[in-house]
């Protein structure tokens, strides 16, 4: 994907994976909007790459439409949207539940992906197509007992990406997910002491996977990222259908 002169927007772009991807997109010639709740950090990264800082709370339903519109107007087009902002739940969600913290994690991890996609699709249509990538996790492909609520939100992201990827493919809009294992970013600080010598990914490892998706990803794919392995699309098993008969046509495009 030739990014020279293209417009891009990255949420959670002020640190970690988001900042690494901002730098990659800018180095490839894209104009990049850096969205983050931390205004000072967003401006720092945006200034570094000559981009646009857009502070805001991505879990607010009004934020993504507003910031997407600002980025499209500033750059003249929008071609790549990386919905990367995320948070851990910090609770088990089994015997205890802090509802405010639960709502916050769902708002950032799930709602923001939906709000961001809904805001991005009209802009990508006006650009003649483009790519939306959402940061999920290996916790979106398997169970992570360490944080069941985080697991739930990332499974939701993967399911949403697979369905929207199929639904929008005919319009030249790719929707994919990147699903890294544990990454050495502030997100794991609350249980960092449990890792010991376990190999961690770097933010640049995940940015490599995002590069791969932009170059050769197909709609609806969820790319795994693990230390020492080449990132690539996860192979989902097919779901058994009913014995006899055929599936309704509306379901044919989802596998």
The reply to whether 150 belongs to the active site is: yes
What are 125's two structure tokens? 């249509």
What residues have CB less than 8 Å from 255, skipping those under 6 apart?
Answer: 238, 239
Contact 178, 193 (CB under 8 A): no
**Which is the catalytic residue, given 102, 150, 160, 234?**
150
- Full DSSP string of 133-175: EEE--GGGTS--TT-HHHHHHHHHHHHHHHHHHHHHGGGTEEE
| Sign of the CA dihedral running 245, 250, 252, 255 | negative
| Look-up of token digits 């990222």 | 225
β-strand partners of 180: 225
Active site residues: 150
């Amino acid at each position: 994907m030739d990014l020279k002169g293209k417009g891009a927007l990255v949420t959670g772009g002020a640190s970690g994976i988001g900042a690494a991807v901002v730098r990659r997109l800018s180095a490839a010639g894209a104009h990049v909007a850096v969205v983050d709740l931390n205004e000072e950090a967003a401006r720092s990264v945006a200034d570094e790459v000559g981009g646009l800082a857009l502070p805001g709370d991505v879990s607010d339903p009004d934020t993504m439409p507003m910031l997407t519109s600002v980025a499209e107007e500033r750059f003249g087009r929008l071609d790549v949207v990386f919905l990367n902002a995320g948070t851990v739940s910090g609770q088990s969600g089994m015997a205890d539940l802090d509802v405010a913290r639960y709502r916050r994690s769902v708002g950032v991890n799930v709602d923001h992906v939906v709000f961001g996609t809904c805001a991005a699709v009209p802009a990508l249509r006006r650009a003649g197509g483009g790519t939306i990538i959402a940061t999920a996790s290996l916790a979106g492909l398997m169970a992570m007992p360490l944080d069941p609520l985080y697991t739930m939100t990332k499974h939701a992201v993967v399911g949403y990406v697979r369905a929207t990827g199929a639904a929008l493919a005919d319009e030249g809009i790719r929707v994919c997910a990147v699903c890294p294992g544990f990454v050495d970013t502030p997100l794991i600080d609350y249980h960092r002491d449990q890792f010991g010598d376990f190999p961690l990914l770097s933010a640049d490892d995940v940015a490599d996977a995002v590069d791969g998706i932009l170059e050769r990803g197909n709609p609806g794919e969820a790319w795994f990222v693990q230390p020492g392995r080449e990132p690539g699309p996860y192979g989902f098993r097919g779901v058994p259908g009913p014995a006899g008969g055929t599936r309704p046509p509306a379901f044919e495009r989802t596998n």
